[in-house]
Chains A and B, each alone.
Chain A
Amino acid sequence: MATLRKAVLFTARHSKLCNFASSKNLSTTAVVSYWNKDWKPGPIPNTPEERAAAAKKYGLRPEDYDLLTEGELGDYPNLPLVAKSWKNPWEDYDIPGDKRNFGEPIHPDNDIIGQDLWDPNADGRFTYWQSLFRALMIGGGFLTAYLLLRPYPFFLPEMPKQYPFNDLYLERGGDPEKEPSIKHYTFTPKC
């Protein structure tokens, strides 16, 4: 029974991890997820048969398969370095966020051509003059509110502090002859 329970728990945990890892591939953020040794590129193909096999492995036609000149990545194909923003946005991709189909090999410099990078030549959501105008509007709005409300400041109403002995009249050097009688109400209940 214990073995069964352990197996169920393991499967549950394992499947969750798998789901998570597969969803992680969608994200462009660097994350810590496991790496499979089968994804490692194979040795450099020399014969036409090996080239055809390698092209098939990466889902390419043998005519399209071109080897990377550096040779550091083994049989990894030399894919065209085209920014993602140039790919058709209306195509029905498997992974629309990346404009990529399932199993489609990605370029080694994928992080450079990815669409989450800001294209300096693209227009933003707002033009420069729009955003400048709005920034000035908001800053000016705060300033206007500040200036309009300036004559009406917030304050807590308070009275001068009350002291015993007729507000310390004698202690403050008052004339004993003219000592006034000041009564402060203390609101202490009579017992």
Chain B
Amino acid sequence: MLLFFTSLMMACGWGFMLMGGQTMILELELMSVSSTNFSIMLIVDKINLSFSMVVTLIAGSVFTFAHKYMEEDHNSDRFLWILMAFVISMNLLTFSGSIFFLLLGWDGLGITSFALIIYYQSFESLSAGFQTLMVNRLGDALISCVYSSSFVLVGQFSFISLSDNFISVGLVLMLSVAALTKSAQYPFSSWLPAAMAAPTPVSALVHSSTLVTAGIYLIIRLSYNVPLSEEVKSMLLFTGAITCLLGGWAATYENDIKKIIALSTLSQLGVMVFSLGLGFPGLALFHLYTHALFKALLFLAAGNMLMATYGSQDIRLMGGIGMAMPFTIIMFNVSSLCLVGAPFLSAFYSKHVILGKMVMSSLNLSSMVIMFVATMMTAKYVSRSLKAISWNKPTSSIMAVSSNFYTSFPVTILGIGGIVSGKFLSMIDLGNLELAYIPSLWGNIINIITLGGITLGLIRGAQVLSNHYLSSMFFLPPSLVSSKASAFSSKEMSSLDYGWLEPSFSAKNYHSKFGSVLSDIGVWPQKQSFFMAGLILAFTLVFVTSSYF
């Protein structure tokens, strides 16, 4: 309740700041050494007020949901307090105006996210938490480097002091790399799918909308003070495109619903970083908001389903779950369509525009081709999981779960956010409204690529294909997280497990083979799918013609 109230307050503050176009800077000096001030510095402007509004709104919904989801847990109070500490440190990070103060929120995020990942105490969650902690440590070390070098070279810590000189460019480059570790971009992306060992409310709040976007928020915050140099931009363009591709591609081989959503988050973070690399920080921020809303919705809907299946996360066993929980499945569909960038849902105003802007700008050809393939992959895994979950025949006897206030209210709130936030946010703040002037041919190419991905997902569907290169995110986790890689540090580490890679690494993969037989039960199209086919056809028409609006 408090969080919802805070969110409302932030919304009012945001409106106020928008009308006045102001920025407030509060500085509280702690001590000074020679001429260097160690101070707590807060920046309050429209960016962090709106970001904090979205964060607290999602946090309020997730707390409401966690009340039901964690009710049988013995330590649910402790869980809620850690989650609260996370929200507080997120807000500290949001409002921080200097590197000195940023470090507080940044480390707070690292510690609380580790505590949340290892909440279910098992070997798997410990290794996932450890992996997360280690990757985030890299970013922390870089921020500490920036901290000390800005003390030595610049003499103060505020973002405002960063200007367009040589030192600042180096500092911004280091901060950007630190941000990439937090946002799980290409060389550092193996921790995000592993972090799904955390409880679902944590995944909804931490690993979809807040923690992983903290890095992107930091780059956006920097880019409003210092124009990003060409080197930083091309680095972001490169890593963003590859992250988008590998997240999407690995998701097409995944059967665990939470991991699919985690990999899709990875892919969307890639889109945001790509848009930063193109030079549209406003658009990246806008996509961050819409994505946070619909991804939290997707996670909460998945959490509702997990309550019905008693923790079975395999999408091949979730067919026909919509019979037991129609409202949840509607919301699941809505947020999945947001993910594709379906017309007039929230991501249409952000993701689709980013693709349009990509065609409009002058950029590296390889990044553009990668982004097109990644868009297709996004559509493919979305339609694949939708086919397996909501358009399939019932595959197991699922108990109906009585939906109550605590499960349906947050889903409703986020569902409204997921549907209208695109239009709404671009109406309130015209800074979010970007237009891409591209020939209709290119608009159609974007749409056809998306539709091609959807069709591919429907054709190949839930069959299990095993391709080790693609399903392991181009061999990233086995190279980074392996007994060999960490053998020098300690002997215990040699039993680190492969987490979500386990089935691929077992000698004989009977499990997947059996699963493919099971998934053939509900091969699409079925006899009763005429209505569904008509619906898809209508949707296709809307999609194709949307480029003329």
- A residues near B (Cβ < 8 Å) are 17, 20, 23-24, 26-34, 85, 89, 96-97, 115-118, 120, 122, 124-126, 128-129, 131-132, 134-136, 138-139, 142-143, 145-146, 148-150, 152-156
Q: A120-B497, A139-B187 are in contact. Are A153 and B506 (CB under 8 A)?
A: no
Cβ contact within 8 Å between B309 and A154: no
Q: A32-B397, A135-B476 are in contact. Are A118 and B360 (CB under 8 A)?
A: no
Q: A32-B310, A125-B468, A139-B186 are in contact. Are A153 and B363 (CB under 8 A)?
A: yes
Complex interface bits, B189-233 against A, C-beta within 8 A gives 1, otherwise 0: 000000000000000000000000000000000000000000000
Q: Which of B479, B495, B506 contacts A131 (CB 8 A)?
A: B479
Is the CB of B36 closer than 8 A to any CB of chain A? Answer: no
- The chain B residue with its CB closest to the CB of A123 is B507
Which B residues, 489 to 541, have Cβ-Cβ distances below 8 Å to chain A?
Answer: 494-498, 502-508, 510-511, 513-514, 518
Which B residues, 406 to 440, have Cβ-Cβ distances below 8 Å to chain A?
Answer: 438-439
Listed by A's residue number, 11 A-B pairs whose Cβ atoms lie within 8 Å are A27-B518, A32-B397, A97-B513, A97-B514, A116-B511, A118-B497, A118-B502, A131-B479, A135-B478, A139-B242, A153-B363
Is the CB of B312 closer than 8 A to any CB of chain A? Answer: yes
Cβ contact within 8 Å between A118 and B505: yes
Is the CB of B364 closer than 8 A to any CB of chain A? Answer: yes
Cβ contact within 8 Å between B438 and A153: no
- List 20 additional contacts besides A125-B504, A154-B368; criterion CB under 8 Å: A29-B317, A31-B317, A33-B396, A97-B511, A97-B513, A97-B514, A118-B498, A120-B494, A120-B497, A125-B468, A129-B484, A132-B479, A135-B478, A142-B238, A142-B370, A146-B234, A149-B365, A153-B364, A155-B362, A156-B360
| Cα distance A143–B366 in the bound complex, in angstroms | 9
| Cα distance A187–B518 in the bound complex, in angstroms | 61
Q: Which of B364, B366, B475, B507 contacts A134 (CB 8 A)?
A: B475
- B residues near A (Cβ < 8 Å) are 186-187, 234, 238, 242, 309-312, 314, 317, 359-368, 370, 395-399, 438-439, 442, 468-469, 472, 474-476, 478-479, 482-485, 494-498, 502-508, 510-511, 513-514, 518
| Cα distance A85–B475 in the bound complex, in angstroms | 26
Residues of A within 8 A of B472 (CB): 131
| Cα distance A128–B477 in the bound complex, in angstroms | 11
Q: Which of A89, A96, A115, A126 contacts B506 (CB 8 A)?
A: A115
Q: Which of B186, B366, B478, B484 contacts A145 (CB 8 A)?
A: B366
| Cα distance A47–B76 in the bound complex, in angstroms | 48
Q: Which of B396, B478, B507, B518 contacts A32 (CB 8 A)?
A: B396
Residues of A within 8 A of B363 (CB): 153-154
Closest Cβ of chain B to A103, distance in Å, is 20
- The chain B residue with its CB closest to the CB of A26 is B514
Residues of B within 8 A of A146 (CB): 234, 238, 364, 366-367
Residues of B within 8 A of A152 (CB): 365
Q: Which of B310, B312, B518 contacts A23 (CB 8 A)?
A: B518
Cβ contact within 8 Å between A117 and B510: no
Residues of A within 8 A of B367 (CB): 146
Closest Cβ of chain B to A184, distance in Å, is 18
Residues of B within 8 A of A139 (CB): 186-187, 242, 474
Q: A32-B309, A118-B498 are in contact. Are A154 and B475 (CB under 8 A)?
A: no
Residues of B within 8 A of A118 (CB): 497-498, 502, 505-506
Residues of A within 8 A of B366 (CB): 142, 145-146, 148-149
Closest Cβ of chain A to B137, distance in Å, is 21
Cβ contact within 8 Å between A131 and B242: no
Q: Which of A20, A136, A150, A156 contacts B396 (CB 8 A)?
A: A20
**What are the 5 closest A-B residue pairs judged by CB atoms, nearest first?**
A128-B484, A135-B475, A97-B510, A155-B362, A135-B479
